[in-house]
Amino acid sequence: MTHRSLNAIRAVAAVLVVVYHLRTLLMQPGDGFLYALTGLGPAAVLVFFVLSGYWVGGSVLNAFRRGTFTWSRYLSARLGRLWIVLIPAVLLTAVLDHLGLALLGHTSIYAGDAAYHDTVPASDLAGRLDPLTALGNVTFLQTMVVHTYGTNASLWSLAYEAVYYAVLPLALSTWRGKTSTRVVCAAVLVAVLLLAGPKVLMYLPVWLLGAAASQFKGRVPQTTAARATALALVAGAMYLTYAHYSSINVLVLAGATTALVMTLATDIRRDSRILDGLSRYAESSYSLYAIHLPIAALIAAILTPDVNARWAPTPGHWLALAALTAGLTVAGWAFAQVTERHTDRLRPVLTMILHGPREKSAA
């Protein structure tokens, strides 16, 4: 059953990431309310981590508690969900980046101006478009073994999530799995932790908070007042993270988001076209996240070819930014129609590959 309120949060978080990247690429640095509102992208990724922990980590905890967890079904579910968007997104990035380098290689973005280093690579873009880097991104090794692919720096978070997807069931299998598999799971767990390193694992507690929240459904007030309070806390914590991105503020935001998720364990039942619309779009949010940055880089190279030509914060430019955000949102929806919306068709195929026809028929 669709959870409209949590889906709506996912959709809003995806759009915040998009508008943040567009604003960084197209507009001059500045401050003020609109800069703060469009600067919440990094904080929105943390919200994604909590939601991912709630859904994915929660499903792992529930399966272990029921004694129904199987690696074949889990891997087919997770890989099916990730690959059906990620592989086409990497291919799209290759096409757009090669096009950008060929036609707009002289622009600040494709030349690797350091002003963009927090958004797209600041040097050697062509070196990030080789087949080995593409393979590393498809196998979730970006930031650990290879760079993120081309201009698509957003792919960093998929590698982090893949690590978290592996760590929790491996740890549970080591603790309470079958005797014959405990040693193997423990060895694989250690290898994953060593490969990931502190940089990746520093966000694991954020993801685990979401997983823990899934086990306390119904134990937190599901009232309008509780939800409004939690939402206000999330908004305040997101601003704190925008103003100063620190480990303490990250944990504050993770805690506030976890509280909000727990108050929304029972979905909002009232009719709302806005909630319905955001919930439906959430089914395209992963696609939007995975493809928006190479498209945004190409657009920015065309509209502001030199870093010093970035837009001033005029009303007209803010409206143009909003229009481009809407255009990318539509692009994400269109991409999802041929990728993300067909996830359920891919999962049985992966299950059959991983475990054979008998598992497919039992699923």
Least confident of 24-38, 120-134, 146-160, 173-187: 173-187
pLDDT on residue 68: 93
Q: In b/e form, how buried is each residue of 99-126, taking b as 16+ CB within 10 angstroms? A: ebbeebeebbbbbbbebbeebbbeeebe
Instruction: Please give the Cα distance from 78 to 73 (Å, whole number).
Output: 9
pLDDT on residue 356: 61
For residue 26, what are the contacts with CB-CB under 8 A and spacing of at least 6? 299, 300, 303, 304, 310, 311, 317, 321, 324
For residue 98, what are the contacts with CB-CB under 8 A and spacing of at least 6? 129
Element at 332 (helix H, strand E): helix 315-338
Domain residue spans of the chain? 4-362
Q: Tell me: the pLDDT tens digits for 258-279?
A: 999 999 988 888 888 999 999 9
Instruction: Please give the Cα distance from 352 to 303 (Å, whole number).
Output: 48
Nearest to 342 by CA among 69, 58, 87: 87
Q: Tell me: the pLDDT tens digits for 162-216?
A: 999 999 999 999 998 777 789 999 999 999 999 999 999 999 999 999 999 999 8
Instruction: Please give the Cα distance from 321 to 247 (Å, whole number).
Output: 30
For residue 268, what are the contacts with CB-CB under 8 A and spacing of at least 6? 4, 5, 227, 275
User: 157 or 351: which carries more pLDDT confidence?
Assistant: 157
For residue 151, what are the contacts with CB-CB under 8 A and spacing of at least 6? 93, 96, 97, 100, 109, 120, 121, 125, 293, 294, 297
Tokens 């957003």 found at: 154
Tokens coding 109: 């973005």
Q: pTM, whole model, 2 decimals?
A: 0.92
Q: Tell me: the pLDDT tens digits for 11-22?
A: 999 999 999 999
Q: Check whether 241 has a pLDDT greater than 60.
A: yes
On the CB side of 21, CA atoms within 13 Å amount to 31
8 A C-beta contact, residue 287 and residue 332: yes
Tokens 């891919």 found at: 346
Tokens coding 180: 């014959």
> For residue 75, how many other CB atoms are within 10 A of its CB?
19
Tokens coding 102: 């060929």
Cβ neighbourhood burial of 335 (10 Å; 0-12, 13-18, 19+) = buried
Q: Biggest alpha carbon distance in the chain?
A: 65
> Rounded to 10 degrees, what is the CA torsion of 87, 301, 284, 209?
80
Nearest to 27 by CA among 324, 301, 325, 317: 317
Instruction: Please give the Cα distance from 94 to 256 (Å, whole number).
Output: 38
pLDDT on residue 361: 36
Tokens coding 262: 């727990």
- In percent, the amount of the chain with pLDDT more than 90 equals 82
